[in-house]
Chains A and B, each alone.
Chain A
C-alpha cells in the first residue's frame, strides 16, 4: 500500500534539509548570502577601483606608501612578539590557577577589546604622556615616549594583546590537566611539560590568537593617532596614511587600501594552511 508521503511531490534533493532536526536550507542560505555579499563586495570594490585607476604602479615606490607599509609591518611584528612573550604567561596563569582576584584580572584583560580605541589613546597619554602619571619619571630618564615609534607599538600592544590572551587561555584550558600530571610523574620538569605537552596541544589556539592580535595591531588607528600622532616615516602607519590621503590624494588612499587588503589576505591564508598542519590527525578523533 502506498503511503501519502510517497505520493507527495518531492522537492529537489538539495533543497531539502538533511533531516527534520536541521534548519531549512533555503532561508539559511539566503541570510548567509546577504552577509557574505555585504562583506565581500566592498573588498572587491577596493581591488577593482584600485586596479582600474591605473595608479598602482605609479604609487608603489612613493615614500609615503613605502614608509607607511614598512612602519606598519615592523611595529605590528614587534607588538605581536611582545604580546606572545608577555601574554603567554598571563594566559597560562589564568587558565591553570585560581587565585583571589582571578575574575577581576580576567575582566581587566578583556577591557581593551571593548574599549573604543580613542579611549585607549587617552588612557596611554594619561599614563606615559608628558602630563601622564609616569610622564615626569620618564622625562627625567630622558625618555619621550608619546609621539614616537615606540608609542605606535604601545598603542598596538594595548589594543591587540587581549585577543591573544583570550585565545591562549582557552587553548591552555582545553589541555587535560591529567596529561601534565602524568608528564610530571614521568620525570619532566614544569618547563619541559609546558614545552612538550601544553604548548603543542594548545598550538592551534595560540596561533589563531597571535594572528587575531596581529590583525588588530595592523589595523590600529584611533589609539595610535592620539598617542603617537601622525608623522610620516615615524608614526604614520598604513591606516593613518590612508586617513591622511583621503583628504588630499584619493588615489593614494585607494592604493594603500589595496596593499593592506592584499597583505591581510595573504597572511590569513598562510595562517590557515599552517593551522591545518598543526591540527593534522585531529588528536581527539
Chain B
C-alpha cells in the first residue's frame, strides 16, 4: 500500500504527483522527462519533495507539514534504477548480499542462495556484473532489491535496455515474482506495450503531473487530451460538430459522415467536439456477411489507401468514400483476419465505430 501526494518545484519544471497504489503492479507511464523517475526517487528517499506526504504501508515516511523525512536506509524500499546500478567491484553473490547488514553469516548465505535460485542465477555467484548479459544483470538487481524483504519495490524503466525477447521473458518473471512476494510494485516505463502487459493499475505521467489514474483498460481508452491520446497510441482523434442530441445518443458530423456517440449530457447541438477511438477498437465488418445496422455504432465505407505490417496485426489506413486523398481512419486488424479476407491495399472495406469504444476528449 502506497500513498503519494507530493510537489517539487524546479525553475522550469514542476512535479506534482498524487496517487495511491494497492497491492499489485502500479505502472507510471509517460514520455521521457515527464517526472516518472523523479517520483520514484522521492518515494525511495533519494530526492526530497518540497511539500506533501508519502506513506508506505500506512506509515508516513515523508510529511512536510511535520518536518518528517525518513532517510532511505530506514524506508525498506527496494529500488532498481534505470541502469541497474550493480556494484561493479562486487561479485553477483556479494551484490545480492549487500543489503543484509547485521544478518549473521549463515543466515545471510541461506537467503542469498534462495534468492539466487528464485531468480535463476545459480552458477553465476562468482561473476562480476561486467561479465553478465543485460537480462542477467537485471535479475541480479531485482534479487539484490528483494533480498532485504522490502515493503515496496520501485523499478525505473528496468527493461528498456534489453532486447525484445529478453524483455518478454522478464515481463513473465516480474509477474511471477509479484505473485510470489505479494509486494506492491511501482514500475516506470515509456513503453505502451509494457504498461499494458504488466499493470494492474496505470498512472499517466505527463509534464510533471500524474494526470490520470486507474485500471489500464480504461486509462488507455480514455485519454484526457489530444497530446495524451497521441502518446497512448489512440491515433484516431477526430474533430466534429454536434448535430443532434436526441434520444439515447449524440450524433456528430465529421467530414460529412454522421457519427453516433454515446449519450453525454454535456454536449449541445452546434458544439465542436473532439472524440477518439483506438485503431484496434474500430470494428471491421466481414465482407462475407451482409452489412446490417446493429444500432451499436455508425457504419462507414471506404477503401484501404495504405497499409503497414506490425507483427501480429496490420495497420490499415482507410480513405472513406467522399474523401479525395490521404486517409481518414486507422484500423488495426489481426493477422489471421487480414489474410483470410485479403484486406490489402485498394480493397473496399466497411467499418463500424462502436459507440461504446468512442471516448470524447474534454480539453
Tell me the A residues contacting B by CB distance below 8 Å. 176, 178-179, 181-189, 192, 196-197, 200-201, 281-285
Q: Which residues of A contact B145 (CB under 8 A)?
A: 185-186
Q: Are A185 and B98 in contact (CB under 8 A)?
A: no
Q: Interface readout for B77-117 with A: 1 if CB under 8 Å, 0 if not?
A: 11111010101110000000011010000000000000000
Q: How far is it, in angstroms, between the C-alpha of A226 and the C-alpha of B237 when the chains are bound? A: 82
Q: Is the CB of A185 within 8 A of B72?
A: yes
Q: Is B301 among interface residues, defined by CB-CB distance under 8 A? A: no
User: Given known contacts A192-B101, A281-B128, is B85 in contact with A187 (CB within 8 Å)?
Assistant: no
From the candidates A186, A197, A283, name the one contacting B130 in the complex (CB within 8 A): A283
Known A-B contacts A185-B79, A186-B98, A285-B130; the reply to A200 vs B89 at CB < 8 A is: yes
Known contacts A178-B83, A184-B71, A187-B101: A282-B77 contact under CB 8 Å = no
* Contact call B99/A187, Cβ cutoff below 8 A: yes
Do A186 and B148 contact each other (CB < 8 Å), given the known contacts A179-B85, A179-B87, A181-B81? Answer: yes
B85–A186 contact, CB under 8 A?
A: no
> Using Cβ atoms and an 8 Å threshold, which residues of chain B touch A187?
73-74, 99, 101, 148
**Bound state CA distance, A89 and B158, in angstroms?**
34
Residues in A neighbouring B46, C-beta threshold 8 A? 181, 184-185
CB-nearest residue of chain A relative to B71? A184
B residues apposed to A, CB below 8 Å: 41, 44-46, 71-75, 77-81, 83, 85, 87-89, 98-99, 101, 128-131, 144-145, 148
Shortest B126–chain A CB gap in Å is: 11
Q: Which residues of B contact A185 (CB under 8 A)?
A: 44-46, 72-73, 75, 77-79, 145
The answer to whether residues A284 and B89 also contact, given A181-B44, A182-B81, A188-B101 and a CB cut-off of 8 A, is no
Give 17 CB contacts A-B under 8 Å.
A178-B85, A179-B87, A181-B46, A181-B79, A181-B85, A182-B85, A185-B72, A185-B78, A186-B99, A186-B145, A187-B148, A188-B99, A192-B101, A200-B89, A283-B88, A283-B128, A284-B88
How far is B90's CA from A283's CA once the two chains are assembled, in angstroms? Answer: 9
Bound-state CA distance A285–B89 (Å) is 12
Interface centre among A184, A186, A192, A285, by most chain B C-beta atoms within 10 angstroms, is: A186
Shortest A207–chain B CB gap in Å is: 14
Q: With a CB–CB cut-off of 8 A, which chain A residues contact B83?
A: 176, 178
| Least distance between A235 CB and chain B CB atoms (Å) | 43
Q: A201-B88, A284-B88 are in contact. Are A188 and B98 (CB under 8 A)?
A: yes
Q: Which of chain A's residues have a CB closer than 8 A to the CB of B88?
A: 201, 283-284
A-B CB proximity, top 5 nearest: A186-B99, A283-B88, A178-B85, A184-B72, A285-B130
Would you give the shortest CB distance from B119 to chain A, in whole angstroms?
Answer: 16
Cα-based distance from A29 to B79 in the complex (angstroms): 51
Task: With CB as the reference atom, state the residue of chain A lying closest to B98.
Answer: A186
Contact B98 A201, beta carbon cutoff 8 Å? no
CB closest chain-B residue, reference A197: B87
Contact between A189 and B44, CB atoms less than 8 A apart: no
* CA gap between A185 and B85 in the complex, in Å: 12
In angstroms, Cα B88 to Cα A184, docked, is 16
Alpha-carbon separation in the docked complex, A197 to B101 (Å): 14
| CB neighbours of A281 from chain B (8 A) | 128, 130
Enumerate chain A residues within 8 angstroms of B85, measured Cβ to Cβ.
176, 178-179, 181-182
Bound Cα distance A16, B140 (Å): 46
Q: Which residues of A contact B80 (CB under 8 A)?
A: 182
Give 10 new A-B contacts, CB below 8 A, not counting A189-B73, A285-B131: A176-B83, A176-B85, A185-B44, A185-B45, A185-B73, A185-B75, A200-B89, A282-B130, A283-B89, A284-B130
Task: Tell me, in angstroms, the Cα distance from A192 to B74 when the chains sit together.
Answer: 15
Min CB distance A186 to B, Å, is: 3
> Which residues of chain B are within 8 angstroms of A179 by Cβ–Cβ distance?
85, 87
What is the CA–CA distance of A176 and B73 in the complex, to the nearest angstrom? 19
CA distance A239 to B354 in the complex (A): 92
Residues of B within 8 A of A197 (CB): 87
Complex alpha-carbon distance, A201 and B88, angstroms: 8
A172 to chain B, nearest CB (A): 15
Asked if A183 contacts B98 (CB within 8 A), the reply is yes
Closest chain A residue to B129, Cβ basis: A283
For A192, the chain B residues whose CB sits under 8 A away are: 101
The residues of A that contact B79 with a CB separation of less than 8 Å are: 181-182, 185
For B129, list chain A residues within 8 Å (CB). 283
Residues of A within 8 A of B101 (CB): 186-188, 192
Q: Report the bound CA distance from A282 to B128 in whole Å.
A: 10
Determine the chain A residues whose CB is within 8 A of the CB of B75 once the complex forms: 185
Q: Which residue of A lies closest to B130 (CB)?
A: A285
Give chain A nearest CB distance to B100 CB in angstroms: 9
Q: For residue B81, which residues in chain A have a CB less than 8 angstroms away from its CB?
A: 178, 181-182
Nearest-neighbor residue (CB-CB) of B74 within chain A: A187
CA A285 – CA B86 in complex, angstroms?
13
- Which residues of B have CB within 8 Å of A182? 79-81, 85, 144
Q: In the complex, which of the residues B41, B79, B85, B130 has the most CB atoms of chain A within 10 Å of its own CB atom?
A: B85
Residues of B within 8 A of A188 (CB): 73, 98-99, 101
Could you say which residues of chain B place their CB within 8 Å of the CB of A176?
Answer: 83, 85
CA of A108 to CA of B98, assembled, Å: 39
Q: How far is the CA of A183 from the CA of B128 in the complex (A)?
A: 17
With CB as the reference atom, state the residue of chain A lying closest to B88: A283
CB distance from B302 to the nearest CB of A (A): 52
Complex CA–CA separation, A195 to B101 (angstroms): 14
**Least Cβ–Cβ distance between B231 and chain A, in angstroms:** 27
